[in-house]
């Protein structure tokens, strides 16, 4: 199991325990966490799963693919140069047995 903290724009937090291998987007959508839409179902084609990863986890993330990089230029809330990722492209588990992300003010 892996622990994910979603920090909402209003200051509230949702904490989930999910099976290893679950993407942040899938975890949020499956558990009714507001602030992540996941419109394309995880294909890196919509940017409605934008998250801002807390600094201490950045070194543990998989590299950004070209597709993800392009979609991050299309987020509703402006991309952060270091912390922005697509939640559907990050799986909790393994080295990322815990992770914390901020959710942007808007996804659409």
Q: Where on the chain is the footprint of ligand FES (CB under 6 A)? A: 25, 38-40, 42-49, 71, 86, 88
Element (H, E) at 24: helix 24-30
Compute CA distances 58 → 48, 54, 89, 100, whole Å: 20, 7, 14, 10
Closer by beta carbon to ligand FES, 2 or else 51: 51
Closer by beta carbon to ligand FES, 11 or else 88: 88
Q: How far is the CB of 97 from ligand FES (least distance, A)?
A: 22
Q: How far is the CB of 78 from ligand FES (least distance, A)?
A: 16
Question: Which residue has its beta carbon closest to ligand FES?
Answer: 88
Rounded distance between C-alpha atoms, residue 73 and residue 84, angstroms: 10
For the chain, the straight-line distance linking the first and the last C-alpha, in angstroms and rounded, comes to: 30
Closer by beta carbon to ligand FES, 45 or else 61: 45
């Amino acid at each position: 199991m892996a622990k994910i903290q979603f920090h909402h724009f209003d200051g509230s937090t949702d904490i989930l325990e999910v099976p290893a291998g679950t993407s942040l987007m899938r975890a949020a959508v499956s558990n009714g966490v507001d602030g992540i839409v996941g419109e394309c179902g995880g294909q890196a084609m919509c940017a409605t799963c934008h998250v801002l990863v807390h600094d201490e986890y950045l070194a543990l993330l998989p590299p950004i693919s070209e597709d993800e990089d392009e979609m991050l230029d299309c987020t509703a809330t402006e991309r952060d140069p270091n912390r922005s990722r697509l939640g559907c492209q990050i799986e909790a588990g393994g080295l990322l047995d815990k992770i914390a992300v901020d959710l942007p003010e808007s996804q659409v």
